[in-house]
Structure 1
């Protein structure tokens, strides 16, 4: 049985500052570091003594959380830029209000995956899923049965879509809202080879350090 613990990075400084995330290399807040410790304890209890790998986005807020988890589990971290959040181009690191003034709304119908939000250099959702699907395939090729993947909110949603075999084009509408610091558990059932989502968007472990 393969099990993936999909973690969305906890609270980062851009959350508090009201800045656009994306590829902006924000670091964890002090509360975010406490949340990462809580996540690490939960995962240590679930992994037990089994061999485990930790993968993460190379952006600091995810990589830092992964390092906390890796230290608790006694393993190193493999970072991969393909696990980054969707880039907002020139909007990354700017105030959210700056982006909202310039954002081209996503249409209800039509080519939602190919839609461009407006800011120069921003990724489309198609470009995002085209890098996320292959990196999950690579993670799944590794010869271990227990893996932790630390990524970002939207990116993690599309990783779930890849896990359950959702066609890329269907991700233009399907989405799983995930909170900062959440854990989603993905399991491959070896009796009938199904890819299961056995826990989605868990945050109870954050307790009083969850924040707003």
Structure 2
């Protein structure tokens, strides 16, 4: 079975414009973000059939609103899963970005980057973050569905892609796939070789219509 995965990063949220740390901070979409959520939904509606589609989403408000817009167009009920959340930044969440920047300890250039602690109480390591993304992706990809929509967050996109490519999470300490709010990344698997590819990365052309 050929498969296509459409990974949506939620559009503009209040933490973006307020200059505060996102993570698990439960920010809402802005007015522009809601317009862009509708644009994402319309773009996916033009590409996807009503049947053989499932929608999965992070349970945070900004992703739920995006998933609701998509699901309305596709006539589906989104499956909410906390494992699709953004990386947790612990006590920094909801605080000014400058507060985090002043305390953040960047990962080493060499060595164990996945288990590195960034100096913020309660924050996830990359290892913990990647492990939960890989776990939920294993369950999602076990579904016998031709088209899957995943609504998530910017940083989470990286580990969704590496999980799709079957790269061991222990080996992705240097991996980073840039994203944009409201982007759609398309992952495709053919039905003969079962090769997997990143067909489009963080496309935002639908936001310009």
| 1:8 equivalent in alignment to 2:9 | yes
Distance (whole Å) between structure 2 residues aligned to residue 64 and residue 180 of structure 1: 14
CA deviation vs aligned residue, 1:51-74 (integer Å, no higher than 9, x gap): 211100001111110000000111
Name the residue aligned to 1:81. 82
Q: Is the 8 A contact 2:107 2:118 kept in 1?
A: yes
| 1:50 equivalent in alignment to 2:55 | no
CA deviation vs aligned residue, 1:26-78 (integer Å, no higher than 9, x gap): 01001000000000011011103432111000011111100000001111010
List aligned pairs for 1:146-157, cutoff 5 A. 146-157=147-158
| TM-score scaled by length of structure 2 | 0.97
Name the residue aligned to 1:135. 136
Name the residue aligned to 2:71. 70
Name the residue aligned to 1:32. 33
1:116 deviates by 1.0
1:202 deviates by 0.3
List aligned pairs for 1:100-111, cutoff 5 A. 100-111=101-112
Distance (whole Å) between structure 1 residues aligned to residue 207 and residue 23 of structure 2: 23
Name the residue aligned to 2:115. 114
Name the residue aligned to 1:181. 182
CA deviation vs aligned residue, 1:146-173 (integer Å, no higher than 9, x gap): 1100000111111001001112122100
Distance (whole Å) between structure 1 residues aligned to residue 38 and residue 54 of structure 2: 17
Name the residue aligned to 2:168. 167
Distance (whole Å) between structure 2 residues aligned to residue 133 and residue 189 of structure 1: 21
Distance (whole Å) between structure 2 residues aligned to residue 59 and residue 20 of structure 1: 14
Which runs of 5 or more structure 2 residues have no equivalent in the other structure? none
Q: Is the 8 A contact 2:87 2:156 kept in 1?
A: yes
Aligned residues: 208
1:201 deviates by 0.8
Stretches of 4+ moved more than 4 A in 1? none
Which runs of 5 or more structure 1 residues have no equivalent in the other structure? none
Distance (whole Å) between structure 2 residues aligned to residue 93 and residue 110 of structure 1: 31
Across the aligned residues of Structure 1 and Structure 2, the Cα RMSD in angstroms comes to 0.9
1:143 deviates by 2.2
> Does the residue aligned with 1:34 lie in a helix, a strand or coil?
helix
Distance (whole Å) between structure 1 residues aligned to residue 99 and residue 54 of structure 2: 39
Distance (whole Å) between structure 2 residues aligned to residue 58 and residue 190 of structure 1: 32
Distance (whole Å) between structure 2 residues aligned to residue 14 and residue 88 of structure 1: 13
